[in-house]
């Protein structure tokens, strides 16, 4: 059985967020021009994901959370977050929620964080600690999980 990967959860939650905004526009919280601040978070999320992905390719290591990476990457966006791709995806979901401005859309970034915290981050960090031992433990003490 193939495991559902984080980008699939991200896309599903982004689509559900968009759909729920139009189907259940319960409470509009953020209005123009303030909702345009969400675009900044969306752009940040896209940039951090592209940057992180390029580092994975440059270092010829896996981006898949269920695989063990070959080198440990601690530069670039990994200096501010141990999981910059999840941070980027969360930023996009939060930016979309701010841009749409309706209350219901703010549940989806929270759901994404919970899924990552329960299904992926513990496994990834265990794999990293098993492979890179003290180097990962020192990195873990220096850099926060999210931001």
Phi, psi of 102, deg, nearest 5? -95, 145
> What would the pLDDT profile of 79-124 be if each residue is shown by its tens digit?
999 999 999 999 999 999 999 999 999 999 999 999 999 999 999 9
pLDDT (0 to 100) of residue 1: 56
Kindly report the average pLDDT of the chain as a whole number.
Answer: 95
Q: Are 146 and 87 in contact (CB under 8 A)?
A: yes
Cis peptide before 33 (omega within 30 of 0): yes
pLDDT at 66 over 90: no
> Stretch 5-11: mean pLDDT, rounded?
97
Q: CA-based angle 110:22:33, to the nearest 5?
A: 75
């Amino acid at each position: 059985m193939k495991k559902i990967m984080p980008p699939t959860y991200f896309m599903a939650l982004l689509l559900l967020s968009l759909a729920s905004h139009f189907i259940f526009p319960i409470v509009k919280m953020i209005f123009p021009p303030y909702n345009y601040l969400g675009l900044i978070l969306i752009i940040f999320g896209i940039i951090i994901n592209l940057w992180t992905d390029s580092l994975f390719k440059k270092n010829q290591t896996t981006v898949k959370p269920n695989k063990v990476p070959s080198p440990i990457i601690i530069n670039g966006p990994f200096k501010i977050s141990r999981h910059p791709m999840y941070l980027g995806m969360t930023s996009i979901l939060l930016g979309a929620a701010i841009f749409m401005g309706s209350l219901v859309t703010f549940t989806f970034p929270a759901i994404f964080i919970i899924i990552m915290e329960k299904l992926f981050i513990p496994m990834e960090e265990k794999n990293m600690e098993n492979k890179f031992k003290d180097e990962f433990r020192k990195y873990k003490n220096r850099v926060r999980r999210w931001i």
